[in-house]
A and B are shown apart, each in its own frame.
Chain A
Amino acid sequence: MPKDHGIGASPKRREDVRFLSGTGNYTDDINVSGQAYVHFLRSDVAHGRITSINTEAAAAMPGVLKIFTGADFEGVGGIPCGWQVTDRHGEPMQEPAHPVLAQGKVRYVGDQIAAVVAETLEQARDAAEAIEVDLEELPAVVDMKAALADGATKVHDDLTSNLCYDWGFVEENKPAVDAAFEAAAHVTTLELRNNRLVANPMEPRVAIGDFNRGTGDSTLYTTSQNPHVIRLLMGAFVLGIPEHKLRVVAPDVGGGFGTKIFHYAEEAFCTFAAKALNRAVKWTSTRSEAFISDAHGRDHVTKIELALDAENNFTAIRTDTHANMGAYLSTFAPSVPTWLHGTLMAGNYKTPLIYVNVKAVFTNTVPVDAYRGAGRPEATYQLERVIDKAARELGVDPIALRRQNFITEFPYATPVAVEYDTGDYHGTMDALEKIADFSGFEARRKESEARGKLRGLGVNCYIEACGIAPSNLVGQLGARAGLYESATVRVNATGGLVVMTGSHSHGQGHETSFPQVIAEMIGIDESMVEIEHGDTDKAPMGMGTYGSRSLAVGGSAMVRATEKIIAKTKKIAAHLLEAAEADIELKDGTFSVAGTDKSVAWGDVTLAAYVPHNYPLEDIEPGLEETAFYDPANFTYPSGAYACEVEVDPETGKVTIEAFSAADDFGNVVNPMIVDGQVHGGIGQGIGQALLENAAYDENGQLLSASYMDYAMPRASDVPFYSVDHSSQTPCTHNPLGVKGCGEAGAIGSPPAVVNAVVDALQSGGHKVDHVDMPVSPSRVWAAMNA
């Protein structure tokens, strides 16, 4: 029987009540007394030199308070990048300046030229139209390979070229990898593109800057996945505001998917302008603005080669990737194609030799950074596509080829610098075979064929590195931050707990799942535990929510803080019960003395901590509040096996998803309902990437798919019900909960399954098609079939 509370139960989400009744508190719902509004004038050309900006007429328009341009930000810091990659020659990456408002040049459609602050948003918009900007348009660099050609126009005049870095991993392995390819019995090669995406959380970004002249304190309300990170980056690197004078609040946030990790210019602008004008300044992005100002994701062009011996064992992998950085380096951008991609190229397989080369390239496009999965979907997609192609070339079953090469012994040190602690790849594949009903596939294919449709089955595995991340490791790899998490647990006199965490919930349900853990540790009702997040004035520090890290890292910090609470309450209980501390047991919210009937309730002990009339004051302080920082010892390694069945209409090339099954190993699971929901959502986004979504630029750097009229978001009728399973559980060995993280799995694991299925369907119809690039649109499928 399923548990009804604690770890492993699926209580209804407590946050739902406010979201279902229209009483959530999203950033745009906040209005600060006396606030003004800002509208950004954005570049409509991809590359140009600003020769003059005349704001005179605009500044005289009704309601205008001030018009800011780049000149107002001279002497102010630029938007910092949080990660420095070292290239294969030992040199640091090229790192351009990233001004809050354009200085001299615009570098992508959407780059902010000026900001109009007015009494109303309409007045700000109207005045922006009256700003006269003279731009000398320059050739735009859009294609990555063209950007690296000799004589290419440079995005940044002060850099030596458009190459951010040329990274080799592991560089010392290259000769051995090349030799393995020379000796291979078979080599499969595949060239593919991981399509550029826009994350598109349904809530557009919002920033409200506020300043209190009386105290000198600044406050920023923002749609962020990590308010403490914004406080650090903006305070220390852009505006020079120390942490104790800057509060960052990220209240209810309507989805993030990575794109709300980063520190954006609009946040710095609103905070800066609020101080300059002594007025709160609010910015609410429109969706059209979001398409040209939110960091995009993916956009890798890759050639992958897989070497096999005569027994079909994988002997080596070699990859060559061009990764688009866009015009500037967003917060985590350099780490995505390197440490979140190259380190995952072993996948679930014991390939002994791997070499990954990545050239990161500046182009006149929106900056590109982490989007759900971030580097790991790119690694998984190329690996699982090339394995499928190899199986077809060799005439072997693609599942059998995978199983033959699975890693089966743990811990396993890969040739790409990470050590998997646990996993059971046969276990997840076995679970998949059950839920996906492989044995009935041929009958379903015949039924489709009878209706004139081609049916395909695609399978793939994935591994990801989550629980980001051990600070000492990422520090060596170029991170400019530690990636621990903190938690403060405050126990009130009457026994209720408030847990203040640096993790942020923007759909993940932390307010429900985190209390399940804490309540179980103490043996009290979950309703006695409240989670506070999203405010730098509450939790002491935090690195936020991304990289499937909240429970693995943030949850572990909460466990550690709660352990300190329990240790202190045991001391108090021992005093009250006149027993030795070592004899005190805590169970079901009651402290008892082992082997006796003496006991005292949780609430009596917490009350004693605040009313210390009978209290060991000589040994411990009154009060009951503890803080812990948790820095993980390793990444966590969730894994799984996914299957997709598609039907292709040979008349039109249209692909429909007939079934999708996902078998995951997330280690221990705290709330199965929420975990399944995370997987559903990830699969929905992965199907979106595989079938529908594409951020397409023309050769002039104009974004062609810049609204929901052109960028095809998955809708309810594009997807089926999913079949998901997380029964295969190998607990993480190095965090106290044994959890691995589940937020990104669906988006990582699903695109290759879809494309493998489409190729399988086409092959079944006699079409010699090895690959179709994502999104697998009707026109691309039709063209492939009729090539």
Chain B
Amino acid sequence: MSQVTMTVNGKQMSGDAEGRTLLSQFLRETLGLTGTHVGCDTSQCGACVVHVDGVAVKSCTMLAMEADGADVSTIEGQAAADGTLNALQQAFQDHHGLQCGFCTPGMIMSAADLLKANPKPTEAEVRHHLEGNICRCTGYHNIVKAIMAASGQDVSSIAAE
């Protein structure tokens, strides 16, 4: 066991980790930040995406120790201090981009990463970017729509509510 310290959502946090402790496990079990989810064990599903030093990372592919000293941001840090959802979160609610909510934290963190690099992505670019995020509920329709809407594009011509 070693002590690992990182800045999470702007706050310094510490805890003990084994060499094999994954960042996802450390966030959930040691720091109690259960918004980051674990949906697989082969780094395919993307439910665990967080940002480490500004880069989207599947937190199940990184050891907690590797994140020692890093600046980590998770789903819990996305809304404003008063709880107001950010524009991307709000677009997901407005366009029904989530159902069971389990993949949602990873979707939001992954989509935020896309919009940072590509502020007006095409439909194909959104779909390509989400290759590493699996959703079983929505058929992706409203997720893609929400991300395009969050980028300021008019999605009113896309079929259905």
> Residue of B at shortest CB range from A686?
B139
A684/B139 in contact, CB under 8 A: yes
B116 in the interface, Cβ–Cβ < 8 Å? no
Interface residue stretch chosen among B42-50, B51-59, B61-69: B42-50
- The contact of A15 among B89, B101, B133, B135, by CB within 8 Å, is B101
A200 in the interface, Cβ–Cβ < 8 Å? yes
> Residue of A at shortest CB range from B105?
A22
B76/A716 in contact, CB under 8 A: no
Known contacts A20-B89, A202-B39: does B136 contact A673 (CB below 8 Å)?
A: no
Known contacts A203-B100, A508-B99, A509-B99: does B139 contact A680 (CB below 8 Å)?
A: yes
A96 in the interface, Cβ–Cβ < 8 Å? no
Q: Which residues of B contact A674 (CB under 8 A)?
A: 96
> Residue of A at shortest CB range from B86?
A20
* A:11-33 near B, CB below 8 Å: 12-13, 15-24, 26, 28-29
With most chain A CB atoms within 10 A of its CB, the pick from B33, B99, B124, B161 is B99
B103 in the interface, Cβ–Cβ < 8 Å? yes
- The contact of A22 among B74, B158, B160, by CB within 8 Å, is B74
> Residue of B at shortest CB range from A285?
B41
> Residue of B at shortest CB range from A723?
B159
Q: Shortest Cβ distance from B123 into chain A, in angstroms? A: 7
- The contact of A721 among B37, B45, B108, B159, by CB within 8 Å, is B159
A676/B140 in contact, CB under 8 A: no
* A:491-521 near B, CB below 8 Å: 506-509
A324 in the interface, Cβ–Cβ < 8 Å? no
A168 in the interface, Cβ–Cβ < 8 Å? no
> Residue of B at shortest CB range from A204?
B39
Q: Which residues of A contact B18 (CB under 8 A)?
A: 122
A716/B137 in contact, CB under 8 A: no
Interchain Cβ contacts within 8 Å, total number: 201
Q: Shortest Cβ distance from A413 into chain B, in angstroms? A: 35
Per-residue CB contact flags for chain A residues 654-698 toward chain B (1 = under 8 Å, else 0) read: 000000000000000000111011001111110100000000000
Known contacts A673-B161, A684-B139: does B99 contact A507 (CB below 8 Å)?
A: yes
Known contacts A24-B101, A122-B18, A203-B37: does B160 contact A12 (CB below 8 Å)?
A: no
A255/B139 in contact, CB under 8 A: no
Q: Shortest Cβ distance from A704 into chain B, in angstroms? A: 15
A254/B101 in contact, CB under 8 A: yes
A506/B85 in contact, CB under 8 A: no
Per-residue CB contact flags for chain B residues 90-117 toward chain A (1 = under 8 Å, else 0) read: 0011101011111111001000000000
**Number of A positions contacting B (CB below 8 A):** 61
B127 in the interface, Cβ–Cβ < 8 Å? yes
- The contact of A746 among B20, B101, B103, B139, by CB within 8 Å, is B139
Query: How far, in whole Å, are A562 and B101 apart by their CA atoms in the complex?
Result: 30
B100/A716 in contact, CB under 8 A: no
A349 in the interface, Cβ–Cβ < 8 Å? no
* B:133-147 near A, CB below 8 Å: 133-145
Q: Which residues of B contact A52 (CB under 8 A)?
A: none
Query: How far, in whole Å, are A13 and B42 apart by their CA atoms in the complex?
Result: 32
- The contact of A202 among B36, B100, B160, by CB within 8 Å, is B100
With most chain B CB atoms within 10 A of its CB, the pick from A15, A253, A716 is A716
With most chain B CB atoms within 10 A of its CB, the pick from A12, A254, A506 is A254
B159/A29 in contact, CB under 8 A: no
- The contact of A724 among B47, B134, B159, by CB within 8 Å, is B159
A20/B92 in contact, CB under 8 A: yes
Q: Which residues of B contact A685 (CB under 8 A)?
A: 136, 139
Known contacts A21-B78, A22-B34, A722-B159: does B139 contact A507 (CB below 8 Å)?
A: no
B127/A717 in contact, CB under 8 A: yes
Q: Shortest Cβ distance from A173 into chain B, in angstroms? A: 39
Q: Which residues of A contact B128 (CB under 8 A)?
A: 716-717
Q: Shortest Cβ distance from B98 into chain A, in angstroms? A: 6
A201 in the interface, Cβ–Cβ < 8 Å? yes
Query: How far, in whole Å, are A708 and B40 apart by their CA atoms in the complex?
Result: 8
B39/A203 in contact, CB under 8 A: yes
5 tightest Cβ-Cβ pairs between the two chains A and B: A22-B35, A684-B139, A19-B101, A254-B102, A507-B100
In the complex, given contacts A23-B35, A23-B76, what are 12 additional A-B residue pairs having Cβ atoms less than 8 angstroms apart?
A17-B93, A26-B37, A28-B28, A201-B100, A287-B41, A507-B100, A507-B137, A677-B141, A680-B139, A708-B45, A713-B134, A716-B143
